[in-house]
Amino acid sequence: MFQWLKRWPVDSKSLSLPSEVIQRYRMAHKETNLTDNEILRQKIVNLQHALSLEKMRSRAYEKLIEIAESEEGISILKKDGAKQ
């Protein structure tokens, strides 16, 4: 699809689309001119969100292991110290 969009852009005259369609497309895909600081802040927000999701995922795995160990009565986590 991306190749198609590159070959025949929506606002190109070769597609003969109605002007309303082209105008709606331009409004929906309007490029914003963000400053470097705004881009970095947006990345920080995205990374913080990803971090919070990973923390929840990690806690879910810990809880899963805890429940499995209590129900099955076996140790799942690796023991401290190496065998020699």
The DSSP annotation for the chain comes to: -HHHHHHS-TT-GGG---HHHHHHHHHHTPPP---HHHHHHHHHHHHHHHHHHHHHHHHHHHHHHHHHHHHH----SPPSS---
Give pLDDT, residue 74: 84
- For the four alpha carbons of 13, 17, 22 and 25, in that order, the dihedral sign comes to negative
Instruction: Confirm whether 55 is domain-assigned.
Output: yes
Residue-wise pLDDT for 21-48, tens only, equals 767 777 776 666 678 888 889 899 999 9
What's the number of domains the chain is made of? 1
Give pLDDT, residue 45: 93
Instruction: Confirm whether 20 is domain-assigned.
Output: no
Boundaries of domain holding 41: 34-71
Instruction: For 49, list phi and psi in degrees, rounded to 5.
Output: -65, -45
Instruction: Confirm whether 6 is domain-assigned.
Output: no
Give pLDDT, residue 37: 85
Residue 73 pLDDT class (50, 70, 90 cuts): confident
Instruction: Confirm whether 21 is domain-assigned.
Output: no
Instruction: Confirm whether 23 is domain-assigned.
Output: no
Instruction: Confirm whether 38 is domain-assigned.
Output: yes
Mean pLDDT over all residues of the chain?
A: 78
Tokens of 16: 């003969």
